[in-house]
Amino acid sequence: MGFVQTTANSMKIPFFSQSLDIREFAAREKLGIEEAARKARYEFLFRVAKETKSQAVITAHHADDQVETILMNFIRGAGLKGLSGMPYCQHTSFSDRIMLARPLLDFRKEELVAFCQKNELQYFIDESNKDPMYLRNRIRTQLIPLLSKYNPNFIATVLRNQKALRMDLQYIQESTDSTLEKLGAVQKEGVITFSLEKYSLIPDALKNYVIKELIQRSVPEWMDVSYDLIQNTRDALENRNRSQQLLLENGIYLLVEGGEGILTSDPRMVWKDNWPTIQSEKIIPITEKKIDLDESWVMAVSLSSRVKIGNAFLKNPDPMTAYLDRSKTGDSFKVRFWQPGDVYQPLGMGGKSIKLSDFWINHKIPRRAKEKWPVLEAQGKIIWIPGFQPSHDARITEHTDEILILRLRKGS
Protein backbone atom coordinates (compact mmCIF):
# COMPACT_ATOMS: atom_id res chain seq x y z
CA MET A 1 0.00 0.00 0.00
CA GLY A 2 2.90 2.33 0.76
CA PHE A 3 4.20 2.16 -2.80
CA VAL A 4 0.77 2.86 -4.31
CA GLN A 5 0.03 5.66 -1.87
CA THR A 6 3.41 7.30 -2.45
CA THR A 7 2.96 7.07 -6.22
CA ALA A 8 -0.58 8.50 -6.02
CA ASN A 9 0.59 11.35 -3.83
CA SER A 10 3.45 12.18 -6.18
CA MET A 11 0.99 12.39 -9.07
CA LYS A 12 -1.58 14.29 -7.00
CA ILE A 13 -4.14 11.54 -7.47
CA PRO A 14 -6.66 10.88 -4.64
CA PHE A 15 -5.80 7.71 -2.72
CA PHE A 16 -8.32 5.44 -0.98
CA SER A 17 -7.68 2.32 1.12
CA GLN A 18 -9.48 -0.15 3.33
CA SER A 19 -8.37 -2.97 5.64
CA LEU A 20 -10.50 -6.06 6.10
CA ASP A 21 -10.23 -9.40 7.88
CA ILE A 22 -10.64 -11.62 4.83
CA ARG A 23 -10.93 -14.86 6.81
CA GLU A 24 -13.79 -13.42 8.85
CA PHE A 25 -15.37 -12.01 5.67
CA ALA A 26 -15.02 -15.38 3.90
CA ALA A 27 -16.67 -17.19 6.81
CA ARG A 28 -19.53 -14.70 6.90
CA GLU A 29 -20.10 -14.83 3.15
CA LYS A 30 -19.51 -18.62 3.01
CA LEU A 31 -16.80 -18.22 0.36
CA GLY A 32 -13.30 -19.53 -0.19
CA ILE A 33 -10.44 -17.21 0.69
CA GLU A 34 -9.61 -16.31 -2.91
CA GLU A 35 -13.22 -15.67 -3.89
CA ALA A 36 -13.84 -13.69 -0.69
CA ALA A 37 -10.78 -11.52 -1.36
CA ARG A 38 -11.98 -10.90 -4.91
CA LYS A 39 -15.47 -9.95 -3.76
CA ALA A 40 -14.20 -7.64 -1.00
CA ARG A 41 -11.75 -5.98 -3.39
CA TYR A 42 -14.38 -5.24 -6.03
CA GLU A 43 -16.98 -4.10 -3.50
CA PHE A 44 -14.43 -1.57 -2.26
CA LEU A 45 -13.40 -0.42 -5.74
CA PHE A 46 -16.96 0.06 -6.97
CA ARG A 47 -17.98 1.80 -3.77
CA VAL A 48 -15.15 4.32 -4.25
CA ALA A 49 -16.08 4.65 -7.93
CA LYS A 50 -19.66 5.52 -6.98
CA GLU A 51 -18.55 8.00 -4.31
CA THR A 52 -16.19 9.74 -6.75
CA LYS A 53 -18.70 9.55 -9.63
CA SER A 54 -16.20 7.64 -11.77
CA GLN A 55 -17.18 6.12 -15.11
CA ALA A 56 -15.23 2.88 -14.75
CA VAL A 57 -13.10 0.70 -12.53
CA ILE A 58 -9.87 -0.11 -14.40
CA THR A 59 -7.68 -3.05 -13.43
CA ALA A 60 -4.19 -4.04 -14.58
CA HIS A 61 -5.03 -7.63 -15.57
CA HIS A 62 -2.66 -8.76 -18.32
CA ALA A 63 -2.40 -11.70 -20.72
CA ASP A 64 -0.69 -13.99 -18.16
CA ASP A 65 -3.56 -13.32 -15.74
CA GLN A 66 -5.95 -14.27 -18.53
CA VAL A 67 -4.27 -17.66 -19.00
CA GLU A 68 -4.27 -18.32 -15.25
CA THR A 69 -7.97 -17.44 -15.04
CA ILE A 70 -8.85 -19.76 -17.92
CA LEU A 71 -6.94 -22.66 -16.32
CA MET A 72 -8.59 -22.00 -12.96
CA ASN A 73 -12.00 -22.04 -14.63
CA PHE A 74 -11.15 -25.24 -16.50
CA ILE A 75 -10.08 -26.99 -13.30
CA ARG A 76 -13.32 -25.90 -11.61
CA GLY A 77 -15.40 -27.28 -14.46
CA ALA A 78 -16.50 -23.99 -16.02
CA GLY A 79 -18.40 -23.86 -19.30
CA LEU A 80 -17.76 -21.82 -22.41
CA LYS A 81 -18.04 -18.49 -20.60
CA GLY A 82 -15.35 -19.47 -18.09
CA LEU A 83 -13.06 -20.83 -20.79
CA SER A 84 -13.42 -17.68 -22.87
CA GLY A 85 -11.73 -15.73 -20.10
CA MET A 86 -12.07 -12.14 -18.95
CA PRO A 87 -13.54 -9.59 -21.38
CA TYR A 88 -11.93 -6.22 -21.99
CA CYS A 89 -14.97 -4.41 -20.64
CA GLN A 90 -18.12 -5.57 -18.85
CA HIS A 91 -20.94 -4.76 -16.50
CA THR A 92 -20.82 -6.61 -13.20
CA SER A 93 -23.15 -7.35 -10.29
CA PHE A 94 -21.32 -4.65 -8.33
CA SER A 95 -22.84 -1.85 -10.42
CA ASP A 96 -25.33 -1.58 -13.28
CA ARG A 97 -23.79 1.73 -14.37
CA ILE A 98 -20.06 1.65 -13.78
CA MET A 99 -18.08 -0.56 -16.14
CA LEU A 100 -15.15 -2.82 -15.27
CA ALA A 101 -12.35 -2.33 -17.82
CA ARG A 102 -9.13 -4.31 -18.41
CA PRO A 103 -7.11 -2.42 -21.05
CA LEU A 104 -3.89 -4.46 -20.63
CA LEU A 105 -5.26 -7.92 -21.45
CA ASP A 106 -3.36 -8.14 -24.74
CA PHE A 107 0.05 -7.63 -23.11
CA ARG A 108 2.22 -10.29 -21.50
CA LYS A 109 3.68 -9.57 -18.08
CA GLU A 110 7.20 -9.68 -19.49
CA GLU A 111 6.25 -6.98 -22.01
CA LEU A 112 4.88 -4.70 -19.28
CA VAL A 113 7.97 -5.20 -17.10
CA ALA A 114 10.25 -4.52 -20.09
CA PHE A 115 8.31 -1.32 -20.86
CA CYS A 116 8.68 -0.13 -17.26
CA GLN A 117 12.42 -0.87 -17.25
CA LYS A 118 12.99 0.81 -20.57
CA ASN A 119 11.17 3.95 -19.45
CA GLU A 120 12.62 3.89 -15.92
CA LEU A 121 9.19 3.46 -14.34
CA GLN A 122 9.01 2.00 -10.89
CA TYR A 123 6.77 -1.04 -10.39
CA PHE A 124 5.85 -3.23 -7.45
CA ILE A 125 5.62 -7.04 -7.21
CA ASP A 126 3.31 -8.39 -4.53
CA GLU A 127 5.19 -11.13 -2.64
CA SER A 128 1.90 -12.89 -1.83
CA ASN A 129 1.75 -13.83 -5.53
CA LYS A 130 4.36 -16.52 -4.77
CA ASP A 131 2.45 -18.12 -1.88
CA PRO A 132 1.60 -21.72 -2.95
CA MET A 133 -1.39 -21.66 -0.59
CA TYR A 134 -3.50 -20.10 -3.35
CA LEU A 135 -4.63 -22.02 -6.43
CA ARG A 136 -3.82 -19.18 -8.83
CA ASN A 137 -0.25 -19.04 -7.56
CA ARG A 138 0.21 -22.79 -7.97
CA ILE A 139 -1.11 -22.55 -11.52
CA ARG A 140 1.32 -19.70 -12.23
CA THR A 141 4.44 -21.20 -10.67
CA GLN A 142 3.85 -24.95 -11.16
CA LEU A 143 1.20 -25.88 -13.73
CA ILE A 144 1.97 -23.42 -16.52
CA PRO A 145 5.75 -24.17 -16.50
CA LEU A 146 4.93 -27.89 -16.62
CA LEU A 147 2.50 -27.53 -19.55
CA SER A 148 4.98 -25.29 -21.35
CA LYS A 149 7.39 -28.22 -21.45
CA TYR A 150 4.87 -30.09 -23.64
CA ASN A 151 4.12 -27.00 -25.74
CA PRO A 152 6.67 -24.15 -25.62
CA ASN A 153 3.99 -21.89 -27.11
CA PHE A 154 1.40 -22.95 -24.52
CA ILE A 155 0.48 -19.45 -23.33
CA ALA A 156 0.15 -18.12 -26.90
CA THR A 157 -1.98 -21.15 -27.80
CA VAL A 158 -4.34 -20.59 -24.86
CA LEU A 159 -4.68 -16.91 -25.72
CA ARG A 160 -5.42 -17.69 -29.38
CA ASN A 161 -8.10 -20.23 -28.38
CA GLN A 162 -9.49 -17.77 -25.84
CA LYS A 163 -10.12 -15.18 -28.53
CA ALA A 164 -11.86 -17.78 -30.72
CA LEU A 165 -14.01 -18.93 -27.81
CA ARG A 166 -14.86 -15.32 -26.98
CA MET A 167 -16.25 -14.87 -30.51
CA ASP A 168 -18.20 -18.13 -30.21
CA LEU A 169 -19.60 -16.94 -26.89
CA GLN A 170 -20.64 -13.62 -28.41
CA TYR A 171 -22.55 -15.44 -31.16
CA ILE A 172 -24.21 -17.75 -28.62
CA GLN A 173 -25.16 -14.78 -26.41
CA GLU A 174 -26.75 -13.01 -29.37
CA SER A 175 -28.65 -16.21 -30.22
CA THR A 176 -29.70 -16.56 -26.59
CA ASP A 177 -31.00 -12.98 -26.46
CA SER A 178 -32.93 -13.54 -29.69
CA THR A 179 -34.37 -16.80 -28.35
CA LEU A 180 -35.47 -15.12 -25.10
CA GLU A 181 -37.46 -12.59 -27.11
CA LYS A 182 -39.20 -15.43 -28.97
CA LEU A 183 -39.80 -17.21 -25.66
CA GLY A 184 -42.21 -14.49 -24.61
CA ALA A 185 -40.43 -14.04 -21.28
CA VAL A 186 -42.13 -11.51 -19.00
CA GLN A 187 -40.09 -10.10 -16.13
CA LYS A 188 -41.31 -8.43 -12.96
CA GLU A 189 -39.46 -7.82 -9.73
CA GLY A 190 -38.25 -11.20 -8.47
CA VAL A 191 -40.26 -13.16 -11.05
CA ILE A 192 -39.77 -14.20 -14.67
CA THR A 193 -42.40 -16.12 -16.66
CA PHE A 194 -42.06 -17.86 -20.02
CA SER A 195 -43.97 -20.18 -22.35
CA LEU A 196 -43.24 -23.89 -21.93
CA GLU A 197 -44.45 -24.62 -25.45
CA LYS A 198 -42.00 -22.12 -26.92
CA TYR A 199 -39.26 -23.40 -24.60
CA SER A 200 -39.72 -26.91 -26.03
CA LEU A 201 -38.87 -25.57 -29.50
CA ILE A 202 -35.45 -24.22 -28.44
CA PRO A 203 -32.51 -26.20 -29.90
CA ASP A 204 -30.90 -28.41 -27.25
CA ALA A 205 -27.55 -26.67 -27.78
CA LEU A 206 -29.05 -23.37 -26.60
CA LYS A 207 -31.25 -24.54 -23.72
CA ASN A 208 -28.54 -24.39 -21.05
CA TYR A 209 -27.65 -20.82 -22.03
CA VAL A 210 -31.31 -19.76 -22.10
CA ILE A 211 -31.95 -21.30 -18.67
CA LYS A 212 -28.86 -19.64 -17.22
CA GLU A 213 -29.96 -16.25 -18.57
CA LEU A 214 -33.48 -16.73 -17.20
CA ILE A 215 -32.13 -17.56 -13.73
CA GLN A 216 -29.76 -14.60 -13.72
CA ARG A 217 -32.56 -12.26 -14.77
CA SER A 218 -34.86 -13.57 -12.04
CA VAL A 219 -32.12 -13.31 -9.37
CA PRO A 220 -29.78 -10.53 -10.62
CA GLU A 221 -27.53 -10.63 -7.55
CA TRP A 222 -26.27 -14.10 -8.47
CA MET A 223 -22.84 -13.85 -10.06
CA ASP A 224 -22.58 -17.50 -11.04
CA VAL A 225 -25.18 -20.11 -11.93
CA SER A 226 -23.92 -23.63 -11.37
CA TYR A 227 -24.11 -26.42 -13.94
CA ASP A 228 -26.12 -28.53 -11.47
CA LEU A 229 -28.68 -25.75 -11.06
CA ILE A 230 -29.06 -25.44 -14.82
CA GLN A 231 -29.49 -29.21 -15.19
CA ASN A 232 -32.01 -29.43 -12.33
CA THR A 233 -34.02 -26.64 -13.93
CA ARG A 234 -33.86 -28.28 -17.35
CA ASP A 235 -34.91 -31.67 -15.97
CA ALA A 236 -37.90 -30.10 -14.23
CA LEU A 237 -38.96 -28.16 -17.33
CA GLU A 238 -38.80 -31.29 -19.46
CA ASN A 239 -40.69 -33.38 -16.89
CA ARG A 240 -44.18 -34.21 -18.09
CA ASN A 241 -45.86 -33.19 -14.83
CA ARG A 242 -48.43 -30.55 -15.69
CA SER A 243 -47.99 -28.67 -12.44
CA GLN A 244 -45.16 -28.56 -9.95
CA GLN A 245 -43.32 -26.34 -7.52
CA LEU A 246 -39.66 -27.12 -6.99
CA LEU A 247 -37.02 -25.52 -4.78
CA LEU A 248 -33.99 -25.60 -7.07
CA GLU A 249 -31.14 -24.10 -5.05
CA ASN A 250 -30.38 -21.34 -2.55
CA GLY A 251 -33.94 -20.05 -2.37
CA ILE A 252 -34.85 -20.02 -6.07
CA TYR A 253 -38.05 -21.78 -7.07
CA LEU A 254 -39.28 -23.15 -10.37
CA LEU A 255 -43.04 -23.24 -10.84
CA VAL A 256 -44.61 -25.14 -13.72
CA GLU A 257 -48.27 -24.30 -14.14
CA GLY A 258 -50.77 -23.25 -16.77
CA GLY A 259 -48.41 -23.95 -19.65
CA GLU A 260 -45.82 -21.59 -18.19
CA GLY A 261 -42.45 -21.89 -16.49
CA ILE A 262 -41.90 -19.42 -13.66
CA LEU A 263 -38.64 -18.67 -11.85
CA THR A 264 -38.88 -16.75 -8.60
CA SER A 265 -37.20 -16.25 -5.25
CA ASP A 266 -40.60 -16.42 -3.51
CA PRO A 267 -43.64 -18.33 -4.88
CA ARG A 268 -45.95 -15.97 -2.97
CA MET A 269 -44.89 -13.22 -5.37
CA VAL A 270 -46.43 -15.18 -8.25
CA TRP A 271 -50.05 -14.20 -7.90
CA LYS A 272 -52.73 -13.43 -10.48
CA ASP A 273 -55.06 -10.53 -9.82
CA ASN A 274 -58.10 -12.61 -10.78
CA TRP A 275 -57.50 -15.22 -8.07
CA PRO A 276 -60.15 -14.59 -5.38
CA THR A 277 -59.15 -14.98 -1.75
CA ILE A 278 -60.72 -15.16 1.71
CA GLN A 279 -59.14 -14.28 5.01
CA SER A 280 -61.34 -16.47 7.21
CA GLU A 281 -64.39 -18.70 7.02
CA LYS A 282 -67.79 -17.15 7.74
CA ILE A 283 -71.53 -17.81 7.66
CA ILE A 284 -73.39 -15.34 5.45
CA PRO A 285 -77.14 -14.77 5.85
CA ILE A 286 -79.06 -14.32 2.61
CA THR A 287 -80.20 -10.94 3.93
CA GLU A 288 -76.67 -9.54 3.79
CA LYS A 289 -75.95 -7.07 0.98
CA LYS A 290 -72.15 -6.88 0.95
CA ILE A 291 -69.48 -8.98 2.64
CA ASP A 292 -65.73 -8.36 2.81
CA LEU A 293 -64.01 -11.67 2.09
CA ASP A 294 -60.58 -10.17 2.77
CA GLU A 295 -58.76 -6.88 2.22
CA SER A 296 -59.14 -7.17 -1.55
CA TRP A 297 -62.33 -9.06 -2.36
CA VAL A 298 -65.96 -8.16 -1.67
CA MET A 299 -69.06 -10.28 -2.29
CA ALA A 300 -72.39 -8.63 -3.13
CA VAL A 301 -75.57 -10.61 -2.35
CA SER A 302 -78.93 -9.94 -3.96
CA LEU A 303 -82.22 -11.71 -4.67
CA SER A 304 -84.36 -11.59 -7.78
CA SER A 305 -87.10 -13.56 -9.46
CA ARG A 306 -87.13 -15.77 -12.51
CA VAL A 307 -89.59 -13.39 -14.12
CA LYS A 308 -87.17 -10.43 -13.79
CA ILE A 309 -84.03 -12.36 -14.72
CA GLY A 310 -85.52 -14.29 -17.58
CA ASN A 311 -82.77 -16.20 -19.40
CA ALA A 312 -79.99 -13.72 -18.61
CA PHE A 313 -78.27 -16.31 -16.44
CA LEU A 314 -77.75 -18.48 -19.52
CA LYS A 315 -75.57 -15.78 -21.10
CA ASN A 316 -73.58 -14.87 -17.99
CA PRO A 317 -70.10 -13.81 -19.23
CA ASP A 318 -68.70 -13.12 -15.75
CA PRO A 319 -67.04 -16.05 -13.95
CA MET A 320 -67.18 -14.03 -10.72
CA THR A 321 -70.99 -13.85 -10.84
CA ALA A 322 -73.29 -16.78 -10.06
CA TYR A 323 -77.05 -17.20 -10.42
CA LEU A 324 -78.30 -19.87 -8.02
CA ASP A 325 -81.63 -21.43 -7.09
CA ARG A 326 -82.55 -19.76 -3.78
CA SER A 327 -84.39 -22.87 -2.59
CA LYS A 328 -81.13 -24.85 -2.61
CA THR A 329 -79.28 -22.48 -0.24
CA GLY A 330 -81.57 -22.14 2.76
CA ASP A 331 -81.38 -18.94 4.84
CA SER A 332 -77.60 -18.72 4.74
CA PHE A 333 -74.50 -20.13 3.10
CA LYS A 334 -70.93 -20.63 4.23
CA VAL A 335 -67.78 -19.25 2.65
CA ARG A 336 -64.90 -21.51 3.58
CA PHE A 337 -61.52 -22.87 2.57
CA TRP A 338 -61.39 -26.06 0.57
CA GLN A 339 -60.80 -29.33 2.40
CA PRO A 340 -59.26 -32.65 1.34
CA GLY A 341 -62.12 -34.99 0.43
CA ASP A 342 -64.32 -32.22 -0.98
CA VAL A 343 -66.41 -33.18 -4.01
CA TYR A 344 -68.09 -30.87 -6.49
CA GLN A 345 -70.81 -31.21 -9.12
CA PRO A 346 -69.88 -28.52 -11.66
CA LEU A 347 -72.61 -27.48 -14.04
CA GLY A 348 -72.19 -29.12 -17.44
CA MET A 349 -71.23 -32.59 -16.21
CA GLY A 350 -74.77 -33.94 -16.00
CA GLY A 351 -74.73 -34.08 -12.22
CA LYS A 352 -71.52 -36.11 -12.00
CA SER A 353 -69.22 -35.40 -9.06
CA ILE A 354 -65.50 -34.73 -9.18
CA LYS A 355 -62.98 -34.56 -6.37
CA LEU A 356 -62.17 -30.94 -5.74
CA SER A 357 -58.47 -31.83 -5.69
CA ASP A 358 -58.85 -33.09 -9.28
CA PHE A 359 -60.93 -30.04 -10.19
CA TRP A 360 -58.08 -27.74 -9.13
CA ILE A 361 -55.61 -29.76 -11.20
CA ASN A 362 -57.86 -29.76 -14.27
CA HIS A 363 -58.13 -25.99 -14.10
CA LYS A 364 -54.41 -25.55 -13.38
CA ILE A 365 -54.93 -23.84 -10.02
CA PRO A 366 -51.68 -24.05 -8.02
CA ARG A 367 -51.56 -24.95 -4.34
CA ARG A 368 -50.73 -21.44 -3.14
CA ALA A 369 -53.90 -20.12 -4.86
CA LYS A 370 -56.33 -22.87 -3.88
CA GLU A 371 -55.38 -22.62 -0.20
CA LYS A 372 -57.09 -19.19 -0.03
CA TRP A 373 -59.72 -19.69 -2.74
CA PRO A 374 -63.31 -19.22 -1.46
CA VAL A 375 -65.61 -22.26 -1.58
CA LEU A 376 -69.34 -21.64 -1.06
CA GLU A 377 -71.33 -24.30 0.74
CA ALA A 378 -75.05 -24.52 1.58
CA GLN A 379 -77.00 -27.34 3.19
CA GLY A 380 -73.90 -29.52 3.27
CA LYS A 381 -73.04 -29.20 -0.43
CA ILE A 382 -70.69 -26.97 -2.45
CA ILE A 383 -72.91 -24.62 -4.44
CA TRP A 384 -70.28 -22.50 -6.18
CA ILE A 385 -66.55 -21.97 -6.60
CA PRO A 386 -66.04 -18.35 -7.73
CA GLY A 387 -64.33 -18.11 -11.08
CA PHE A 388 -66.04 -21.27 -12.34
CA GLN A 389 -69.49 -22.61 -13.09
CA PRO A 390 -71.98 -23.04 -10.21
CA SER A 391 -72.94 -26.49 -9.03
CA HIS A 392 -75.38 -28.71 -10.86
CA ASP A 393 -77.43 -29.11 -7.69
CA ALA A 394 -77.93 -25.32 -7.24
CA ARG A 395 -78.62 -24.60 -10.92
CA ILE A 396 -81.64 -22.66 -12.09
CA THR A 397 -84.38 -24.86 -13.59
CA GLU A 398 -87.89 -24.33 -14.91
CA HIS A 399 -89.10 -24.85 -11.33
CA THR A 400 -86.94 -22.02 -9.91
CA ASP A 401 -88.89 -19.04 -8.59
CA GLU A 402 -86.38 -17.05 -6.56
CA ILE A 403 -82.81 -16.49 -7.69
CA LEU A 404 -79.80 -15.79 -5.48
CA ILE A 405 -77.21 -13.60 -7.25
CA LEU A 406 -73.65 -13.52 -5.94
CA ARG A 407 -71.01 -11.17 -7.33
CA LEU A 408 -67.32 -11.02 -6.36
CA ARG A 409 -65.42 -7.81 -6.97
CA LYS A 410 -62.06 -6.38 -6.00
CA GLY A 411 -62.09 -3.28 -3.81
CA SER A 412 -64.56 -1.89 -1.32
Looking at residue 1, its pLDDT comes to 59
Residue 246's SS3 state is strand
The pLDDT, as a whole number, for residue 4 is: 87
Q: What is the pLDDT of residue 333?
A: 92
Say which CATH superfamily domain 282-410 falls into: Phenylalanyl-trna Synthetase, Chain B, domain 3 (3.50.40.10)
Q: How far is CA 345 from CA 27, 31, 182, 311, 351, in A?
A: 58, 56, 41, 22, 6
Percent above pLDDT 70 for the chain:
97
Distance CA 387, CA 272 (A): 13
pTM: 0.63
At residue 374, the pLDDT reads 95
Residues 6+ apart with CB under 8 A from 264: 190, 191, 192, 218, 252, 253, 255, 270
At 138-166, the pLDDT tens digits run 999 999 999 999 999 999 999 999 999 99
Q: What is the pLDDT of residue 242?
A: 64
d(C-alpha 118, C-alpha 121), whole Å: 8
CATH number of 2-167: 3.40.50.620
Geometric angle at alpha carbon 221, from 220 and 223, rounded to 5°: 100
> Is domain 183-269 in CATH 3.30.465.60, yes or no?
yes
In the prediction, which pLDDT does 146 show?
Answer: 96
Q: pLDDT under 70 in the chain at which residues? A: 1, 220-224, 240-242, 412
Instruction: Report the percent of the chain where pLDDT is more than 90.
Output: 45
pLDDT at 223: 58
Output the pLDDT for position 252.
82
Q: What is residue 55's predicted lDDT score, i.e. its pLDDT?
A: 94
Q: Which residues of 304-339 are buried (b: 16+ CB within 10 A; e: fewer)?
A: eebeeeeeebeeeeeebbbbbbbebbeeebbbbebe
Would the CA dihedral through 179, 211, 207, 71 be positive or negative? positive
- At 220 the pLDDT is 67
Please give the pLDDT value at position 128: 77
CATH 3.50.40.10 domain extents, the chain: 282-410
